[in-house]
Amino acid sequence: MNTTIIAGPCVIENYELLDIVAQELVRLNDKYNIDIIFKASFDKANRTSINSFRGPGLEKGLQMLQDIKSKYALRLLTDIHETYQANPVGEVVDVIQIPAFLCRQTDLLVAAAKTGKIVNIKKAQFLSGTDMQFPVQKVRESGNNNVWLTERGNMYGYNNLVVDFRNIADMKKYTDTVIMDCTHSVQRPGAAGGKTGGNREFVPAMALAAKAFGATGYFFEVHPEPECALSDGPNMLYLKDLEKTIIPLL
């Protein structure tokens, strides 16, 4: 099975950012003969503070993603938070992602499933790997067998996450594609005074540990200047570091 790599900025900030990241992903695709999936969110509906930047919204965000797809022929992934978003998103992207906090939301899973697109379900911070058999079942019983699962850590007390890598092996019982979210797993949720903190220096080790436990794919949020990012900066990987991070995973 080919290794799945998902990469891109946390949120759509502007078209220039998408263009810079897309160019690097195309370069890596050509150099290593892989198929990196471009990821960016049109709306971050679960930000810590109501004053945090959320993105351009559904209509404008999808147009920007479509422009990237048309220009660079990259496959796309984005997440949805509401059932009404599923159909328009499914017309543009190749993979619809269900956020971790929403992975038990039946109507959202069913709406995503009915688009016929790949549905990537992120494991909630409060669930085990074996618990994820039920979200998978909801998608499959809605007529869609194209379902992936993603590990992103579990809450460990307050403002911290820990990864139990056994979850990867457990989730592979339910789907062949299990992704390790290497950047969200090093978050410090809500730990930066109304924002989420993080420790990006642990990202490469998270990826290698996941590989040892049988992960078939890896998710990296990347940015040319994470310290200036409008969302998830402390845990995002520098775009220039993506190449050396993925080489041992291929």
The pLDDT value recorded for residue 112 is 98
What are the pLDDT digits (tens) for 43-99? 988 767 787 889 999 999 999 999 999 999 999 999 999 999 999 999 999 999 999
Confidence bin at 1 (pLDDT 50/70/90): low
The pLDDT value recorded for residue 9 is 97
The pLDDT value recorded for residue 47 is 67
d(CA 197, CA 109): 29
d(CA 32, CA 142): 36
- Say if CB 237 and CB 245 are below 8 A apart: yes
The pLDDT value recorded for residue 190 is 63
Beta bridge partners of 198: 187
Checking if the pLDDT of 25 tops 90, the result is yes
Other Cβ atoms closer than 10 A to 115: 19
Checking if the pLDDT of 193 tops 60, the result is no
Checking if the pLDDT of 194 tops 60, the result is no
Residue 178 carries which DSSP code?
E
What are the pLDDT digits (tens) for 141-177? 999 999 999 999 998 878 888 999 999 999 999 999 9
Residue 74 dihedral angles phi and psi, to the nearest 5°: -90, 145
pLDDT, mean over the chain: 94
d(CA 221, CA 231): 10
The pLDDT value recorded for residue 24 is 98
d(CA 79, CA 81): 7
Helix residue ranges per DSSP H, the chain: 15-32, 58-72, 86-90, 106-113, 133-140, 166-171, 203-212, 242-246
- The pTM score is 0.93
